[in-house]
């Protein structure tokens, strides 16, 4: 399952996505965490020492390694140079599983306390809306477009929620999107914006309240988001101690907050995968990107990369069966 954490800066995306990954790993479930947030703090939140975190190879800086592998011998993509972030898999492309060895994982992936981890690498506020930002997050989009995850396998992406994520198809890549909100109007305005952009794309949004101090906070969020509300994480001493550099085991997390992680996992497990929707939007956003800028840059018609004979649902199902044998 592909899971995004979005929300206003400071709302708690990194805190909650990291705790969720640690929680899944503590249950021996396979989990891959991806840091695509503007502030790259996920490695630290997962418990990687700072000195090591700076050595994680950023996917955004070496996107060609990813392209080269995923392109395989797809004849519709004649070189890495014409493969863009939205290029969909087709006949000859390599699909990727969560549990396997491949050159992408061996180069970019690190293990942090049972959680597998990859990162886009840092970008700045100034990068937003620029080519730089897009190519960094584009590495993740391209990877996700080729990633065939099975049931009870979890990919968790800590993401910047700005209008930028809607220019590409990134926001359509997820089976479920958790919007982390504090009980404030500012925080909720990011939810409103996300909801507005996502409404025509069958995106499943669930709101997680954070830094809750009482029933009033929960009622306030519920009154604004209605049925999208899922659960709420309380203001936490555990989180504050972690913030001071104490790395605590998950057993020490407050009971009420552990319960929230379980509710989130149950919600993910109850979510239906829809590969047809996934691929449909991969193609749709590829055509949009090709026509709006990439054809001009590449000097050729990149819409021809879409393979009309490719059935992604069938390919991914047979890939899951074949690679688990």
Contact status: 307 vs Mg ion (CB under 5 A):
no
Residue 287 contacts by C-beta under 8 Å, 6 or more apart in sequence?
303, 306
184 binds, among Mg ion, ligand ADP, none (CB under 5 to 8 A by kind): none
Residue 109 CB, nearest approach to ligand ADP (Å): 21
**x/- map, 84-123, ligand ADP, by CB under 6 A:** ----------------------------------------
Contact status: 240 vs ligand ADP (CB under 6 A):
yes
Residue 224 CB, nearest approach to ligand ADP (Å): 18
Q: Return the range that interacts with ligand ADP (CB under 6 A); candidates 10-18, 46-54, 111-119, 246-254.
A: 10-18
Residue 157 CB, nearest approach to Mg ion (Å): 12
Question: What's the rounded Cα separation, in Å, for the pair 140 and 142?
Answer: 5
Tokens of 214: 């009482």
Nearer to ligand ADP, 58 or 88 (CB): 58
Question: What's the rounded Cα separation, in Å, for the pair 22 and 47?
Answer: 10
Cα dihedral angle (305, 281, 167, 14), rounded to 10 degrees? -120
Contact status: 182 vs Mg ion (CB under 5 A):
no
DSSP codes, 103-132: HHHHHH-EEETTEEEEE-----GGGTTSHH
Say how many residues touch ligand ADP, by CB under 6 A: 18
Contact status: 14 vs Mg ion (CB under 5 A):
yes
93 binds, among Mg ion, ligand ADP, none (CB under 5 to 8 A by kind): none
Nearer to Mg ion, 45 or 66 (CB): 45
| Sign (positive or negative) of CA dihedral 307, 308, 309, 310 | positive
Cα angle 118, 121, 124 (rounded to 5 degrees) comes to 145
Nearest Cα to Cα of residue 142 among 34, 7, 53: 34
Contact status: 37 vs Mg ion (CB under 5 A):
yes
Give the footprint of Mg ion on residues 98-137 (CB under 5 A). none
Nearest Cα to Cα of residue 221 among 16, 213, 9, 229: 229
Contact status: 37 vs ligand ADP (CB under 6 A):
yes
Question: What's the rounded Cα separation, in Å, for the pair 279 and 287?
Answer: 12
Binding site for ligand ADP (CB under 6 A): 7, 9-15, 37, 41, 210-211, 233, 235-236, 239-240, 243
């Amino acid at each position: 399952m592909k899971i995004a954490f979005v929300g206003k800066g400071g709302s708690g995306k990194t805190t909650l996505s990291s705790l969720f990954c640690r929680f899944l790993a503590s249950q021996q479930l396979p989990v891959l965490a991806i840091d695509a947030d503007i502030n790259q703090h996920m490695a630290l939140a997962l418990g990687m020492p700072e000195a090591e975190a700076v050595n994680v190879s950023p996917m955004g800086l070496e996107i060609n390694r990813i392209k080269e592998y995923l392109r395989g011998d797809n004849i519709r993509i004649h070189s890495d140079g014409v493969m863009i972030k939205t290029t969909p898999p087709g006949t000859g492309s390599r699909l990727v599983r969560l549990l396997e060895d491949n050159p992408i994982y061996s180069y970019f992936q690190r293990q942090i306390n049972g959680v597998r981890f990859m990162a886009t690498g840092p970008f700045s506020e100034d990068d937003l809306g620029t080519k730089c930002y897009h190519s960094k997050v584009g590495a993740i989009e391209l990877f996700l477009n080729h990633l065939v995850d099975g049931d009870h396998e979890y990919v968790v992406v800590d993401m910047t929620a700005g209008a930028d994520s809607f220019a590409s198809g990134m926001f359509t890549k997820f089976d479920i999107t958790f919007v982390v909100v504090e009980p404030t109007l500012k925080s909720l305005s990011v939810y409103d914006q996300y909801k507005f952009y996502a409404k025509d794309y069958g995106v499943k949004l669930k709101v997680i309240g954070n830094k809750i101090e009482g029933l009033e906070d929960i009622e306030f969020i519920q009154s604004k988001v209605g049925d999208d509300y899922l659960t709420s994480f309380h203001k936490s001493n555990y989180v504050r101690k972690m913030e001071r550099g104490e790395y605590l085991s998950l057993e020490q997390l407050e009971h009420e907050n552990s319960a929230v992680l379980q509710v989130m996992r149950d919600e993910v497990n109850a979510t239906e995968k829809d590969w047809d929707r996934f691929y449909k939007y991969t193609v749709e956003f590829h055509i949009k990107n090709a026509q709006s800028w990439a054809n001009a840059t590449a000097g050729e018609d990149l819409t021809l990369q879409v393979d009309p004979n490719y059935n992604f649902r069938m390919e991914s199902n047979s890939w899951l069966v074949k690679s688990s044998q």
